[in-house]
Amino acid sequence: MNIHQVHIFNIAAKTLSITKTAKKMHLSQPSVSIQIKDLEDSLSVKLFERISRKITLTDAGKVFYSYSERLLNLIDEINAVMNEFSSGDAGKLILGTSSTVGIYVLPRYLGEFKEIFPKAEISLMIMNRQEALEQCISGELDFSFLQDPPKHPDLHADFFMRDELVIVCSPKHRWAKNDHLTLKMLASEPEPIILREEGSGTRGLIEYVLKRYGIERNVTMEMSSSEGIKRAVEANLGIAVLSKNVIRAEMKNGSLVALGIKDLNTKRDFYIVYNKKRKFMPLMEKFHDFILKKRDLISSSLLS
């Protein structure tokens, strides 16, 4: 039994005419008869009674007709859904990113993408740089948003946005009234610092700067989320280095103070990264094109 035979049977069952079936299927009458006979042989049951030139459904034929309707409708549904996948109108995207991008930047633009492609499913996973990198290499993620382009032969990176890091302290902290800090102040007045967990891109950059400029590494606490760090800094448990975009609300309400560092470039770049050995599915391509078209808008809004 094959789908072509089921389709021929279904038309014949509706029309009860070999002639009409042949015309509708663009086949010869003998071909229709042969296909129906082959279908009956494969099922080991008679589907039609043939009396003179007329055909009628047997009891088995009536039952099989009901199943053929369900089967052909399901095939039509499958084709419709697969067409949506092939056109990029449907599918699933799995994204991995840091909290800076995943919580404070992407949601707005993912909302816009969903408005254009409402049948797209998007899974946004917050993870540190090392986790996102590993899962992008293994193919578990469609895209990763990573600080600095990764040096791996299987990965391709496109610039996504520019971010800025600032020293963050409580309004109660002795530095809170300063307009900015200097490297000399940081070196001569080491403060307890609250850091992200090992593997975080922000932590890696902070540790690099501390080591390069000979600043004492006085870590008082480690946390796995920017939100936790903000609450700890608000409680004056130490200072932290966070993205300016992460603390916009707190800067506005006065619960945190942001301080730049004079003579130190604290801007950093994020990239959208994918495994170039993976097949680029239509929805992936549409998301990639969409997010790259938003780059200038995202960077200008974040650094304003």
Express each pLDDT in 137-154 by its tens digit: 988 899 999 988 888 999
**Average pLDDT of the residues in 263-276:** 88
For the cut 90, the answer to whether the pLDDT of residue 64 exceeds it is yes
pLDDT at residue 40 tops 60: yes
Between these two residues, 97 and 52, which has the higher pLDDT value? Answer: 97
> Span 41-56, mean pLDDT?
88
Residue-range domain boundaries for the chain: 3-87, 90-161+269-302, 164-267
Lowest mean pLDDT among 63-67, 111-115, 224-228: 224-228
State the CATH class of domain 90-161+269-302: alpha beta
**Helix boundaries (H) for 158-294:** 183-188, 201-212, 226-234, 248-253, 282-293
Better-predicted residue by pLDDT, 303 or 246: 246
pLDDT digits (tens, 9 = 90+) for 3-31: 999 999 999 999 998 889 899 889 999 99
282 Cβ contact partners less than 8 Å away, ≥ 6 residues apart = 85, 86, 87, 88, 91
- List the one residue out of 98, 91, 78, 68 whose CA is nearest residue 8: 68
Closest C-alpha among 256, 203, 207 to residue 225: 203
pLDDT computed for residue 202 by the predictor:
75
- Examine domains 3-87 and 164-267 and report if their fold is the same: no
Domain 3-87 has CATH 3.30.470.20: no
Helix (H) or strand (E) holding 270: strand 267-275
**Answer CATH for 164-267 from 3.10.110.10, 3.30.450.40, 3.10.129.10, 3.40.190.10:** 3.40.190.10
Q: Which whole number is the average pLDDT over 159-168?
A: 89
Eight-state DSSP code of residue 141: -
Q: What is the pLDDT of residue 54?
A: 83
Alpha-carbon torsion 14, 18, 19, 24, what sign?
Answer: positive
Ordered alpha helix ranges (H), 235-294: 248-253, 282-293
